[in-house]
Amino acid sequence: EDYAACAAAIQNMQLALQAEGVHSKWGSGDLTRHPAVLEMLGVDGNLEDVVGFIWIGHPLAPPKGVPRPALDGFVRRLP
């Protein structure tokens, strides 16, 4: 439950960043459990977990638009 709440909070932060024109990436993996990282952050790895890091920044160039399929392929309209 705690992990899911963290994931939802991270997604909401990323959506807020995107709305402000800031791009982000959520990274996780071995770095979140590395002893030097836990020590630097003051995290006791026996009591707490680092669920990830959010990389943020501005793109060098505007991102290209992604083609989106028509809604009719996904939405069924009821009478």
Residue 54 structure tokens:
């959010």
Count of beta carbons in the 10 Å neighbourhood of residue 26:
14
Burial 41-70 (b: 16+ CB within 10 A, else e): eeeeeeeeebebeeeeeeeeeeeeeeeeee
Mean local confidence (pLDDT), 23-50: 94
Q: Is residue 70 part of a domain?
A: no
**Has residue 73 got a pLDDT over 90?**
no
Q: Is residue 29 part of a domain?
A: yes
Domain range holding 38? Answer: 2-59
**Has residue 43 got a pLDDT over 90?**
yes
Q: pLDDT over 70 for what percent of the chain? A: 100
Q: Is residue 28 part of a domain?
A: yes
Sequence length of the chain is 79
Q: Is residue 77 part of a domain?
A: no
Q: Is residue 76 part of a domain?
A: no
Total domains, the chain? 1
Q: Is residue 24 part of a domain?
A: yes
Mean local confidence (pLDDT), 22-45: 94
Q: Is residue 75 part of a domain?
A: no
